[in-house]
Amino acid sequence: MKKFFNRSGKEYSSPGRNYERFTADPIDQFEKWFEDAVKHNVEMPDAMHLSTVGKEGRPSGRIVLLKGVDENGFVFFTNYESRKGRELEYNGYGALTFYWSGLHRQVRVEGDVKRIPEVESDRYFSSRPRESQLSAYASEQSRVIESREKFEEEVRFTEEKFKGVAIPRPAEWGGYRLIPFWIEFWQGRSHRLHDRIVYKLDEDNSWKMLRLYP
């Protein structure tokens, strides 16, 4: 039998969270926690794990970056023809996980995923560094490629093609918005007596707050 890892000696030191300390709107609460992560210099607070499911019913996950959040949901960008893009187009649902280890906090988000308007994708693409634009244009994300040299050659070809002119957003690249119907806030506490506060979207489009066993 393989060895099990046991690092249970580490304790969480958070004072915990009560209902009255949470806002009625989960997006407002997320923004408060995100600001805390930034304030406490958590490395890459915008990094989030995106889970998707394809036709085979098997989940897949990867880290992507949060590029915007408001009352409409959480925005990220990718190649529409990548594995995650194909799975989102097929399934239409996704899940996000944020983990801010320095604060002993985790946020899980589940919801519908839809493409954002093309004008918004155009605006964001034009704001990216030119090197990132070149990479997005040259990459057939998630497809098999024969070598690293082949990809670098394609990047150089793209750079020469658009020398001295703006690089247009590739038609297969753009943004998605995850529109949440479930958001869970997890706060680590001592002796594994953690806090789990969930916001669940009801049929009347209002948020209901629940507490879960840890």
| pLDDT of 100 strictly over 70 | yes
DSSP 103: G
Q: What confidence score (pLDDT) does residue 13 get?
A: 62
Query: Which residue has 């093309």 as its token pair?
Result: 118
- What sign has the CA pseudo-torsion 86, 89, 94, 98? positive
pLDDT in tens, 104-120: 999 999 999 999 999 99
What is the arithmetic mean of pLDDT over 86-93?
A: 96
- Residue 197 included in any domain: yes
- Residue 119 included in any domain: yes
Domain count within the chain? 1
Query: Which residue has 């046991």 as its token pair?
Result: 6
Residues of the domain holding 178 = 19-127+172-211
Residue 81 has, within 13 A of its CA and on its CB side, a CA count of 11
Q: What confidence score (pLDDT) does residue 17 get?
A: 56
Q: What confidence score (pLDDT) does residue 32 get?
A: 97
- Residue 49 included in any domain: yes
What is the arithmetic mean of pLDDT over 87-93?
A: 97
Catalytic, 192? Answer: yes
Q: Which of 148, 192, 196, 211 is the catalytic position?
A: 192
Residue 91 maps to which CATH number?
2.30.110.10
Instruction: Tell me what the pLDDT averaged over the chain comes to.
Output: 91
